[in-house]
Chain A
């Protein structure tokens, strides 16, 4: 297949990369250059249920120098005890509790970590997600900008959640955050990544990648909130490699962006590993959302739980593909999925594909999926108690999402998700 046309001439993209990353270590520059060629040569990704052709992604300029911008006032409350704020892919603010450094915790913007902790970056970068998986992943891996780098030494528990906020201004054409999280043995941490942007006059392209490595017995609570503006088109790829008796909790909220394509994978590669994944999505207007959640059981006695709740409004369209994969030799594994969709509109569309791919017999795998309307009897009951129809629908949506949102273990994230839901209902 022919490579996708680009708005920016190939040589100009190469020149941009050479200038932008000239100060980086040679191994990293080589890596970027190799993946840049992969990006340039790659065709537009083909997704079975999402047509990318009509979206004119090739009209978005690549590799233009980002403009300086300030964080809007209403986002000032994002400053937390431990956090990183990036604007247009560049670090604007970083705060780390001093006690953490004493414990050997490394919390840095990625571009800085490349110089401060080069061995760790070289050891783990690109080992969890496949950087050649498709064109936009290759774009991220070639031109990635600041995300968070976190290393937590063995048996250290971080006493505050880390919040990472990625903000895009109205004139930015692409934002490419890259994060790497390594939790050593029995370490504990909580991270929340948020993605926000101002609506622009032109479209912007977000290609986001986060890699997570959990050593034996480590626990990570990872939350992500995507609330990009309608002019954003986003591609997200996340992966976690889960060690012996390690445990990841994914809590993902997907609300913004006109096109949102996101995949996250738990690779259960050692016995006793666990993955709990919750995805909440809410589509409105003409949003198109295409999510893939994967639990890949390679080692015996691993456990996965995958939950998704989606609310579909207006003319929105969503695809949720759950994949529970149990490989040969993964004896005694237990993989379960549950997907539920609430349809608020006749012109919305939701596809659910909860698949189980099983190569072993001493296992338990199950899925349950359902889709349905707002229960008319509930609405009638609520209205008979004096609520307006809109208010009644709002309460039903709340009830539908409450069991999963209230189970989100991090206060900040839980509140943010509820606020996002409120905004979507009111839209």
Chain B
């Protein structure tokens, strides 16, 4: 195992960029009360937030490590830096952003994308948002799109009303950790009846060895509003463990619709332990589009609590696990009101000895009359080194509901391969075509530039999958 990881780490990681360490202020490794107090002091936070953090820290210390899911044995909380601040002041304009960071963004294509598609770029670089812009028309519509630290200063009432209400620190050990040391993340507020037609986009990167990312995102979609938040990650490769533990809370009020799209491509040494949860009220729609590629271990189960009559939830996800990687992902749908519907579509690919686990829950509470859920999980295992588990939990406590679940685990169909190769494609091209077709239900839901990146990543991940 050790040699495997070593050789993995020594290979050049094509989709990672490492610009050297440019962090300005860096904490010592490890976590204690002092670390949390210091983070809060540097950020000049109000007392209630400091109290929230300290309470969460207590909860974190008290909670045992989860014994299910992936293997967390090599995760050492004392070997992580909990806060890094790259520059003293928040970059208001592009000119103020440090050149090294700009270079990285150039390679990621952000300025290009910004001109064309983006409403605002909230670029998280080393734990702190360094660059941030909001297109003028969004402001005119009353939409707030900022980093969460700024929101705490500028919109304290709205933030305090919702912060930590969907995912309290007590929820799980990693939510408690995030609550204690969170930094950065996005804050989105879409006022009543406002349709935000352009996707709100944020880029996240981890760029410091052993540095944890604990971003905290809060999205509020007021009645009848619409929004699409897009988040993408690429991370440079490092030789020791890195921890990413985000919390994302979303409130979708009556008749509103929110979509949250993520494509994550973590370096193969990153622990990605994320809590994502949305509540959907009357006739509201919440959609998670979630792509997980890379990382050493990802444990992520985006969930929707369907609390209002007629609420709808959707999770559309893909997971690709390569060498020495474990994607333990899934979705949770909690039907707690009448006439609620949910859909889960999960596509997993394991290859080069990787492991994918689909772990999902569909729960129908008593009184969730006339609710429906449809779950479909498909897995492709590309070679004999790779493995896959499918563990769907269904809980039905109401008679008048319909739950359907289907899953398959297969290899690439030899019939299809034969057909394609007989038409002149090489086996490698044919396999790629089949895999692209397999994940197409996912990629077609992505914004265009993400779909392009996704296809490129899959192609790269597929290389050498034959033979």
Contact = CB atoms under 8 A, between A and B. Distances in A.
Contacts of B394: 350-353, 369, 371
Interface string B396-417: 1111111111111111000000
A362 B417 CA distance: 14
Given A361-B384, A370-B403, A356 B390 contact: yes
Contacts of A355: 389-392
B324 interface: no
B386 interface: yes
A389 interface: no
A358 B383 CA distance: 12
B393 interface: yes
B381 A361 contact: yes
Contacts of A38: none
Given A367-B407, A373-B401, A356 B396 contact: no
Contacts of A347: 366
Interface string B357-395: 000000000110100000000010111101111111111
Contacts of A352: 393-394, 396, 405
A358 B395 CA distance: 24
B395 A351 contact: yes
A360 B396 CA distance: 32
Contact of A358 (B366, B387, B399): B387
Contacts of A362: 384, 411
Nearest to B407: A367
A363 B350 CA distance: 14
B386 to A, nearest CB: 6
A345 interface: yes
Which of A354, A356, A364 is the most central at the interface, judged by chain B CB atoms within 10 Å of its CB?
Answer: A356
A346 B389 contact: no
Contact of B404 (A343, A364, A366, A370): A370
B401 to A, nearest CB: 7
B388 A370 contact: no
B403 A371 contact: yes
A346 B366 contact: yes
Given A367-B406, A373-B400, A358 B392 contact: no
A359 B407 contact: no
Contacts of B379: 358
Contacts of B404: 368-370
A356 B393 contact: no
B399 A373 contact: yes
A379 interface: no
A22 interface: no
A359 to B, nearest CB: 5
Contact of A349 (B381, B397, B410, B411): B397
Nearest to B409: A365
Contacts of A372: 401-403
Contacts of B402: 370-373
Contacts of B388: 356, 358
Contacts of B395: 349-351
A129 interface: no
Nearest to A341: B396
A345 B399 contact: yes
Contacts of B393: 351-353
Interface residues of B, number: 34
A349 B366 CA distance: 9
Contacts of B407: 354, 356, 366-368
B202 to A, nearest CB: 35
B396 A343 contact: yes
A359 B409 contact: no
A348 B405 contact: no
Nearest to A369: B405
Contacts of A367: 390, 405-407
A349 B397 CA distance: 4
Contact of A365 (B366, B367, B396, B408): B408
B229 to A, nearest CB: 32
A364 B399 CA distance: 33
A356 B379 CA distance: 11
A372 B384 CA distance: 38
Contacts of B391: 353, 355-356
Given A356-B389, A361-B382, A343 B406 contact: no
Contacts of B397: 348-349
Contacts of A348: 397, 399
Given A346-B399, A350-B396, A358-B381, A363 B389 contact: no
Nearest to B375: A369
B402 to A, nearest CB: 4
A178 B397 CA distance: 36
Contacts of B366: 346-347
A358 B409 contact: yes
A36 B422 CA distance: 66
A349 B403 contact: no
Nearest to A320: B394
A300 to B, nearest CB: 12
A354 B405 contact: yes
A18 interface: no
B449 to A, nearest CB: 33
A357 interface: yes
Which of B384, B389, B399 is the most central at the interface, judged by chain A CB atoms within 10 Å of its CB?
Answer: B399
B401 A343 contact: yes
Given A343-B400, A372-B402, 14 more contacts: A343-B396, A343-B398, A343-B401, A346-B398, A349-B396, A355-B390, A363-B410, A363-B411, A365-B409, A366-B408, A367-B406, A369-B394, A371-B403, A373-B400
Interface of B: 366-367, 369, 379, 381-384, 386-411
9 smallest A-B Cβ distances: which pairs? A361-B381, A343-B399, A365-B409, A356-B390, A369-B405, A349-B397, A371-B403, A355-B391, A372-B402
14 contacts: A343-B399, A346-B398, A348-B397, A349-B395, A351-B393, A352-B405, A356-B389, A361-B383, A363-B381, A365-B410, A367-B390, A368-B404, A370-B403, A371-B402
